[in-house]
Structure 1
């Protein structure tokens, strides 16, 4: 048979052609689950470590404060550190630390004290960025402070925002005249100053000139300013900035020099004037 007589090529029947086998798809979900588990474990470990670090820092702060201020062993001290502690520790300082305690003995009186410090270094021997302090006295605590002032009727002290109130008894010819005085508080060179703002005689408003004219020299005790040195009870690094009567308390605010933690001169008690 000649080459021209070859049969044309025919396609194979369908039964002879094998179906292509699709590649097996590898399931990814076990890896996803493993990754999620690792992430969750990492988060848990971080927050456990964070809780431990916060507890250690707060307990250390409480101990240091109690020792430095010679507080009683049962004195309650609250420490608040905003934000995550671990990143701050790694950065070398705490952004902000607020310490507060009620009924802290300050010299001859007691008050509720709150101190907020910024940029508090982790290592010892370094200054803090700065701090502010607030001393809050209720009526009884203010009476205790003012009882140290000669001739001041501390047992009559009251608080009526924005003033401190007192009552004097002036005697003339055997008769007693109650004079109520509203005292405006301010601070000056480390002292609390109480200056007469208004008067009343037996419940009726009266001015300073009328009191002086009616009672003469014995009225001087009613008309005078009262100055109470607070700096002598506080470290020299604490500067009084302002004072106000708020509700049933009087609040004294102060700035604290950041070098107070390292400078003995700033740690010693201050003076007025």
Structure 2
């Protein structure tokens, strides 16, 4: 430029000429960005809470429905009455188990069930229960019977069994034997147990005609009949239980006999295991 038209300098910033901030400019945008970013944790938290509530609702729904479904299947498989009382409990978180198609553990219990003519309480826990068909990984539990039902279990023994009275840990078997055409009342106190799936009764004391006698005296007095009364009895009861159930233990508790059982996992798919077992013929 020529000296006739000199360029004038910009005035210095001072209180008379403040710098104006344009609304919506870079500073405002930078200030708003953190506010928008702060909303995301809350959104994620809400999503997590909703998903958790849905999972809980699904778990509660499964727990409400599953017992009825399992009960129906068990009643049908074992040919039990339609009104059979049966409590069903599943353990652990069920939704992942349902997705995987197998329940880790299932507990079944009833105060009274009749199987093959024997009535008692049952308490069984099944492991690895398939939901799309197949065998159980295994199952075990107890069957509890009273004195009258235990008497029925002893029907094939050589002992005179008209009735049984429990006196833990023993049981007293009472009946009569024929001696010279006369019915002689006899009571034998035995300790019950299980050997190789069979009941075993070990005599502890014998009363003949109300008189307590030792084993030698009984044999001398009653001969072969006395020998049968004093020997340990082994009784097969497999024909009174489904073939897929094996007894593994027995103890007298109060007025009940508690029988430990092992259940073949294939009992749910193999009809033959649901039928009565067999005993060797003597």
TM range (shorter): 0.7 to 0.9
Task: Report the alpha carbon displacement of residue 92 of structure 1 after superposing the two structures with TM.
Answer: 1.8
Task: Report the alpha carbon displacement of residue 59 of structure 1 after superposing the two structures with TM.
Answer: 1.3
Q: 1:14 to 1:196 in 2, by over 3 A?
A: farther
2:265 is equivalent to residue 229 of structure 1? no
Q: What is the aligned partner in structure 2 of residue 3 from structure 1?
A: none
Q: What is the aligned partner in structure 1 of residue 264 from structure 2?
A: 257
Q: Distance in 1 between matches of 2:214 and 2:206?
A: 6
2:143 is equivalent to residue 143 of structure 1? no
**Which aligned pairs between 1:148-167 and structure 2 lie closer than 5 A?**
152-155=160-163, 157-167=164-174
Task: Report the alpha carbon displacement of residue 231 of structure 1 after superposing the two structures with TM.
Answer: 1.0
2:133 is equivalent to residue 129 of structure 1? no
**Secondary structure class of the residue paired with 2:48:** helix
* TM norm structure 2: 0.75
Q: What is the aligned partner in structure 2 of residue 48 from structure 1?
A: 57
Cα pair 1:146 1:152 within 8 Å, conserved: no
Moved more, 228-237 or 22-31: 22-31
Q: Distance in 2 between matches of 1:231 and 1:130?
A: 19
**Secondary structure class of the residue paired with 1:26:** helix
2:201 is equivalent to residue 194 of structure 1? yes
Q: What is the aligned partner in structure 2 of residue 74 from structure 1?
A: 83
1:122-181 CA distance string (max 9 Å, x none): 112x222112132111234323444676763332x22222222234567999x9987653
The CA RMSD over aligned residues, in Å, is 3.7
Cα pair 2:88 2:106 within 8 Å, conserved: yes
2:121 is equivalent to residue 112 of structure 1? yes
Task: Report the alpha carbon displacement of residue 209 of structure 1 after superposing the two structures with TM.
Answer: 1.5
Q: Distance in 2 between matches of 1:76 and 1:50?
A: 24
Q: What is the aligned partner in structure 2 of residue 242 from structure 1?
A: 249
1:184-239 CA distance string (max 9 Å, x none): 21234543222213346799875311333355455345324444432112222222
Q: Distance in 2 between matches of 1:264 and 1:145?
A: 24
Q: 1:12 to 1:237 in 2, by over 3 A?
A: same
Q: Computing the radius of gyration over CA atoms, which structure comes out larger, 1 or 2? A: 2
Q: 1:265 to 1:71 in 2, by over 3 A?
A: closer
Q: 1:108 to 1:225 in 2, by over 3 A?
A: farther
Q: 1:29 to 1:165 in 2, by over 3 A?
A: farther
**Secondary structure class of the residue paired with 1:128:** coil
Cα pair 1:191 1:272 within 8 Å, conserved: no
Q: What is the aligned partner in structure 1 of residue 103 from structure 2?
A: 94
Gaps of 5+ in 1: 1-10
Cα pair 1:189 1:272 within 8 Å, conserved: no
* TM norm structure 1: 0.77
Q: Distance in 2 between matches of 1:259 and 1:16?
A: 95
Q: Distance in 2 between matches of 1:198 and 1:265?
A: 41
